[in-house]
Amino acid sequence: MSAKPKTKDSKPKTENTTVLLMTTAPPENGAWYLGKRLPPIGLMYVAAALEKAGFKVQMLDNYLMKKSLEEIKQLITEVNPGIVGITCGSATYPRCVETSRAIKQVKPDCKIVVGGWHASYMPDSLLANPEIDYVVMGEGERAISELAATIVNGNEKAAASIAGVAVKRNGENIKNPPKYIENMDEIPYPARHLLPLELYDRTIEYLDAKPADVMSISRGCVYNCGFCETRKLWGNICRGFSPKRVIGEIQDLQSKYGTKGIYFINDNFTLRKEKTTELCNLMLENKLDLEWVCDTRVDLVNNELLALMSKAGCKTIWFGVESASQKILQRIGRNTSPQEVETAFKLCRKNGIKTACSFMLGLPDETLKDMEDSLKFAKKLNPDWCQFNTFIAYPDSRLYNELLEKGNYVKLDEFLLSVKTEEFDYDSLMMVQRRFFKEFHMTPRQILKRIRREGAVNFAKRRLMGGTRKTTGVA
């Protein structure tokens, strides 16, 4: 009897294929702060999409677990995945390549797919490595699900036409532009069940509530800051889950994991004011026992909105202030003003919302005086939390490309750049950063705030351990 021909409606043979999704171990030495590890929410979304498509999925957050290459090889032997997906940032690029190489040594026929920030900015750098078979650019849920289906069905030629996928063909890199998911509600909840959540520190510095988790509820950015290339990953239109979908995920977190606090990690939480208002009203209607924190811009809040957010459980807002200099703010494309910053902070205090903020040090055309002005401005603002980050340029961002063209930079590794001028370089910036941290945080006013927030014992422990964070402008 002849085999039944495949039809257009035939389902992919996914049930016998295991997909292993992983992060890499952190770099041993680098120009970035390796702080508390949060679960990789982007990878959990991809895992959920693959499960929805019928694949068996396993996850390894090796940024947390720090398994050696030999342990990775052993895991590959045990799991025997048909596909391995690795998320890659510019800082972890070398680790991604060496991990891919180790996997191929054990299982040469395994297909390796790399996604994430670096994959979206610089896919050619990844495809230059023979161990890497495919690169996913932009958001990964739909692209990797379609790609995995073509692989298991033995139709890899079709991969060269999948939106968001880059592949090597006959010595040429074929890169298909991403198509973004318009109806984000079709994306399932992140596959948190595939990670050992008990190994993560489920606390958020800006919240008293425990346990606390992170949520991502929107994608895309309508702004054009020169230091950021979020738009290359998520697009230049802001898309988001519906408020009802967000409430559903919160309730799922509460029922399954006992969540009491949430950090909404998206950059511009209040960009869509109508949706933000609807979400806050739904939080109140559903009487959620929840505290939360969000990030947004100083020009995207007003008194009415902040009052509602506070009533709905918002305890802290993080603002990217970046500089006290209007000249520098315009230079980097931030397009906000110090006056708007002060107004936003005053409105937050009026409505009982704590403030957190960050400044960047060492931006293009910035002077040491500009940096000192930022320190003075930070003290004037008197936020509850404050970070001074040394600027490091993202690959393929506007400022990154400008630095490459002008040559006024220090190369920190294969991809990352820092500004170099007659007044400062990266090493001297680190000294400025440490001094700013101490001068800001060790004032009597800030010490009292931290003691009230952390308790005298915890504050003393932190002082004994040292307090300077090595933070940068790189994710």
Q: How far apart are CA 232 and CA 220, in angstroms?
A: 9
Does residue 358 belong to any structural domain of this protein? yes
Task: Look up tokens 């403030």; give the residue.
Answer: 355
Same structural domain for residues 258 and 368?
yes
Same structural domain for residues 163 and 303?
no
Residue 288 belongs to domain with CATH number: 3.20.20.70
Residues 6+ apart with CB under 8 A from 23: 40, 43, 60, 61, 62, 63, 64, 86, 87, 92
Same structural domain for residues 224 and 357?
yes
Range(s) of the domain holding residue 293: 202-465
Helices 426-441 & 368-381 angle (0-180, nearest 10): 20
Same structural domain for residues 41 and 116?
yes
Does residue 132 belong to any structural domain of this protein? yes
Q: How far apart are CA 249 and CA 269, in angstroms?
A: 17
Task: Look up tokens 């990266």; give the residue.
Answer: 426
In angstroms, the Cα distances linking 316 to 41, 55, 206, 240, 453 are 21, 39, 6, 21, 13
Does residue 77 belong to any structural domain of this protein? yes
Encode pLDDT of 91-148 as tens digits.
899 999 999 999 999 999 999 999 999 999 999 999 999 999 999 999 999 999 999 9
Find, among 202, 214, 211, the residue nearest to 263 by Cα. 214
Same structural domain for residues 32 and 133?
yes
Encode pLDDT of 328-356 as tens digits.
999 999 999 999 999 999 999 999 999 99
HSE-up (13 A, CA, CB side) for residue 224: 3
Q: How many CB atoms lie within 10 A of CB 469?
A: 14
Task: Provide mean pLDDT across the span 47-53.
Answer: 97
Task: Provide mean pLDDT across the span 146-157.
Answer: 93
Same structural domain for residues 281 and 420?
yes
- From 157, 175, 193, give the residue that closes a domain: 175
Residue 132 belongs to domain with CATH number: 3.40.50.280
Find, among 339, 348, 362, the residue nearest to 436 by Cα. 362
Same structural domain for residues 121 and 40?
yes
Does residue 319 belong to any structural domain of this protein? yes
Q: Judge contact between 254 and 81, C-beta under 8 A.
A: no
Tokens of 289: 């026992």
Same structural domain for residues 252 and 305?
yes
Does residue 5 belong to any structural domain of this protein? no
Lowest mean per-residue pLDDT among 118-127, 346-355, 435-444, 465-474: 465-474
User: Residue 450 carries which side chain, given as an amino acid letter?
Assistant: R
Q: Judge contact between 215 and 189, C-beta under 8 A.
A: no
Find, among 351, 353, 357, the residue nearest to 382 by Cα. 357
Same structural domain for residues 119 and 228?
no
Does residue 186 belong to any structural domain of this protein? no
pLDDT at 8 (0 to 100): 46
pTM: 0.90
Encode pLDDT of 10-42 as tens digits.
444 676 789 999 999 988 765 554 557 889 999
293 falls in which pLDDT band (50, 70, 90)? very high
Encode pLDDT of 220-272 as tens digits.
989 989 998 787 788 888 999 999 999 999 999 999 999 999 999 998 999 99
HSE-up (13 A, CA, CB side) for residue 15: 1
Number of structural domains in the chain: 2
Q: Judge contact between 88 and 116, C-beta under 8 A.
A: yes
Same structural domain for residues 170 and 206?
no
Same structural domain for residues 214 and 266?
yes
State yes or no: pLDDT of 60 exceeds 60: yes
Does residue 275 belong to any structural domain of this protein? yes
Tokens of 156: 């890899």
State yes or no: pLDDT of 211 exceeds 90: yes
DSSP letters of 236-253? SS-EE--HHHHHHHHHHH
Does residue 401 belong to any structural domain of this protein? yes
Mean of per-residue pLDDT scores for the chain:
90
466 falls in which pLDDT band (50, 70, 90)? very low
